[in-house]
């Protein structure tokens, strides 16, 4: 079902965990399966220096989050906002069609974390108690 690259990313995921006092954090749920993804970011001068993820998700969610976090480290926040789940899936050389929805979690959680970062910069505080289902 999964290709070798996805299996490798699942078996040895990178950037698992949580950044303490993150500059941005985002949690989203998947409306299809109910799984949840949380991304925390360390951002300096609009450049993502570190990204970590935690998930209650499947192998595809873990593989795509590992890959997405690796891809956004070093990007500016504007570049990271343009990262699509399709690009992450391409990096992993494909996912089974029924698993594409799992790859949306990382994209959306990264976007939400950047939204949180920008809100904090403007002195606003986003209510993070509700999980948004995408
Ligand atoms: Fe829920 Fe994959 S089945 S994230």
Contact 106 CB / ligand 1 (< 6 Å) = no
State which residues form the domain around 68: 4-123
Classify residue 134: in a domain, yes or no.
no
Ligand 1 centroid, distance to 122 Cα (angstroms):
34
Residue 130 has pLDDT above 80, yes or no: no
pLDDT band, very low/low/confident/very high, at 53 (cuts 50, 70, 90): very high
Q: Which of the residues 19, 102, 105, 114 is marked catalytic? A: 102
33 in catalytic set: yes
Angle at 56 between CA 99 and CA 92, to 5 degrees: 40
Contact 30 CB / ligand 1 (< 6 Å) = yes
Lowest mean pLDDT among 3-7, 52-56, 60-64, 123-127: 123-127
The residue-averaged pLDDT of 110-123 equals 94
Q: Which of the residues 33, 47, 81, 134 is marked catalytic? A: 33
Provide the number of structural domains found in the chain. Answer: 1
Expressed in angstroms, the distance from the first to the final Cα of the chain is 24
Query: What distance in Å separates the CA atoms of residue 104 and residue 37, rounded to the nearest whole number?
Result: 10
Classify residue 116: in a domain, yes or no.
yes
In tens, the pLDDT along 2-52 reads: 999 999 999 999 999 999 999 999 999 988 899 999 999 999 999 999 999
Contact 60 CB / ligand 1 (< 6 Å) = yes
Domain CATH number, residue 26: 3.90.1010.10
Classify residue 132: in a domain, yes or no.
no
Adjacency order of strands within the sheet including 36-44: 47-56, 36-44, 24-29, 132-133
Classify residue 133: in a domain, yes or no.
no
Classify residue 131: in a domain, yes or no.
no
Ligand 1 centroid, distance to 38 Cα (angstroms):
14
Residue 128 has pLDDT above 90, yes or no: no
Mutating to test ligand 1, I would choose from 31, 55, 61 the residue with most ligand atoms within 8 A of its C-beta, which is: 61
Classify residue 16: in a domain, yes or no.
yes
Classify residue 60: in a domain, yes or no.
yes
In tens, the pLDDT along 61-103 reads: 999 999 999 999 999 999 999 999 999 999 999 999 999 999 9
> What pLDDT does residue 14 have?
98
Classify residue 130: in a domain, yes or no.
no
CB contact at 8 A, 47 and 75: yes
């Amino acid at each position: 079902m999964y290709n070798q690259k996805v299996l490798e990313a699942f078996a040895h995921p990178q950037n698992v965990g949580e950044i303490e006092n993150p500059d941005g954090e985002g949690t989203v749920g998947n409306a299809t399966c109910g799984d949840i993804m949380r991304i925390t970011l360390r951002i300096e001068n609009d450049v993502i220096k570190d990204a970590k993820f935690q998930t209650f998700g499947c192998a595809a969610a873990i593989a795509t989050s590992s890959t997405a976090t690796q891809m956004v480290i070093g990007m500016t926040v504007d570049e990271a906002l343009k990262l699509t789940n399709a690009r992450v899936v391409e990096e992993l050389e494909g996912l089974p069609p029924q698993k594409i929805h799992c790859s949306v979690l990382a994209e959306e959680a990264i976007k939400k974390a950047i939204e949180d970062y920008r809100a904090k910069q403007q002195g606003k505080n986003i209510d993070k108690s509700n999980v948004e289902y995408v």
